[in-house]
Structure 1
Amino acid sequence: MKTSINFKAVKTGSEAHNFRKKNFDYIKTDLTGKNEYWVGDKVSDRFRSIEAYCKEKSGRKLQKNALPIREAVVVIKENTTMQDLHKLSKRLEEELKIRIFQIAIHKDEGHYDKDSKEWRPNYHAHLVADWQDLETGKTLKHQSFHYSKMQDITAECLEMDRGISGSRGRLEAIEFKIQKKEEELLLLNNRITEMKAQLDSKKFEDLIVKENDFLGFRKIKTDKTIENYERVFKSYNAELLKNKEILQSKTKIITELQQKNIDLNKEVSLLKNKLSCILSNITTYSKEKEIYFNSVKDTIIKVIQFEKFKQPKLFDTTKEKIIAILDSICKQVSEKNNIPFSSLEEIFKNPDSSLEIFSLLSIDNRGIHYNTEDVPVQQKRKKIKRSQ
């Protein structure tokens, strides 16, 4: 299965759409509960921070035509997790300086197939990004190879095939249309040939109506004969159309199943190769293990930040209640991202990781209270500036 990512200027109603704050007639509401969301900041708040930082850093106001906040729609698989998208976000920040601050996984959009009448889901995710260059205060400047790299990073992080780029994709689309038209022409020719064969057969002699004229000669009654032929042709056309629709529907289903089988076999093969490589090389094993546990830790932190964003006073309570909330968050992370609970235990066994997590909750792993608070976006920008 192929994926792609394409950033454009964020729309005014982005948050309403992404987080289902309104009812939309193109979604399947009984599937909306399967959607997942993560927010680090509101679009309006982030835009104000970007404007202030641009003024502070460059001494000028943000240009009116600047696009400092952008949004991408990413094609995902049914089993793509929020952890996968946080991993993608981290890579985009590390390699292209793109900072994702909102994610929405949508599993309630799609359409009903006109032939099979089955629901065809359109699995995708919306990534809203801060496009400001922290070194200049202006918007990031990317070239064509950077956008190509985005596609590579996305395919790698989501473990999917990379979409075909530009002209090649358009060429294949044109070739496909030509092929379909050729198939339609062939089908039409076959139908004409079949009709001619039937017209030449004695089967149609019964449709010819003859009557004696006043001289006693047998002559064809044109109007009645044409009426009989029209009735038979209508019946044949209806039958041919029905058979064509059934054939197309079955062919489509078979093609989809074959493609799904190919994709699954490819995915299994890649996972086997990756596992073999990891197990046969201690350095690779250690590196992959570190990457995985860092990803798990980051996912836990992101969920905690999201919960604090939704309910700022959620963790302003006793240590016992905070631990209970954390336990609930860990279970949620485990279930939604297919993370073994043993992996979460490994995270909390690591002193540095556990300290980083507990500090977000205003307590450390020894139960000592901290007075730390989440650093606002603007302060983070200043911190980055001072460290340069």
Structure 2
Amino acid sequence: MNAAAAQDSPDVLPPFEGAVPPGERLAAQSGPLARAASVLAGRFGRGGMALTYGIDAGVPTARGIAAGFARPGAPGRRALPALALDPAYGDIARQVRRLANPCDVMIAVVPSTPTNGTAAPLNAAAVLGLPIIALTASGAGYVGDVTDHVIASSSASPLLTAEFHTFTHDVLEHLVHLALVHRPPVGLGPAAVPDARLVEAARVRAAELAASRAGLLRPYERRLSACATVLARALTRGSRLFVVDDGDDRYAETVARAFAAPSHSGAAPLPVLSPHGGASEPGDVTLALFTGDDTAEMVSILAAARWKSQLTLAFTGPAGQNLRRGDLADHVLVVPDGPSRRVRETHLTWSSALWEFTHRALRRPPR
């Protein structure tokens, strides 16, 4: 899709400019990021642990935050005690009361509208004296009055919010290790004051992530545009979009919700099936997000879609490189290397671009 096509409709935005990119949003919050990192470093420095939990699409992000602290991938970084509280193991508030100590810290990832149970774990942590860092989609009042630090995406897009939270995870981890190396904190209070070096480091790291995101988009812009064009044609003919991933389906749910939401006031939602929203049918479109190395599952999902004569789009990690030579997918975009966390971040970025291109194609007048 070229620049001329973007002008077919006067209210269509240019590619990737419909919202402030996550990296730029993050750079504007370098102060809050540095303060939150100082609190985390202070707790780690006194033997405390980071407890993380999330709701909806925030669950895998919360797991990733805990794993990033406990098993740092960068050389020279020491493992830090962190634990992801999992709703699969029962009530989160009860887990907080059973596992937390007063010297710990809570990180909550709340990317969507809070449920009645969202505040209970936060209240339980507050009663124990834990400082609470909340990653949200909206502002400070979004998760109640008990949070000490709120880092908000300020975006209505589930995809941009998910990207923002993964970037926030990266910056916080980077800043915590800097704080522990250069200025071991001694305080436990939730209002730790960061030094100017941390604020600047947050700004620099956010700028690096913004540049990295742009680098993920530019080489694939034409291919993402082609994917969006065929997807828009299929949706116009009455097809539905079925989104699936090879994890616990929470990222697929995030992508599905984003595509189902209207793109602008007065627009109709797109016909989308989430992984738990029913079975796809012949003629539908399958968007498959593959992060892991299970090529058998990858082939099984795409073969089932092919058997139903569906249009198939696949975003994969390194294990999907052979799909380029097969006939199981109509369009394949491959992240050639990197850990699963980076693969997932790339898929979220591509999904954001695909969403925007698709709505641009749908809003163009017929030729």
Per the normalisation by structure 1, the TM-score is: 0.25
| Higher alpha-carbon Rg | 1
Per the normalisation by structure 2, the TM-score is: 0.26
**Higher share of residues assigned helix:** 1
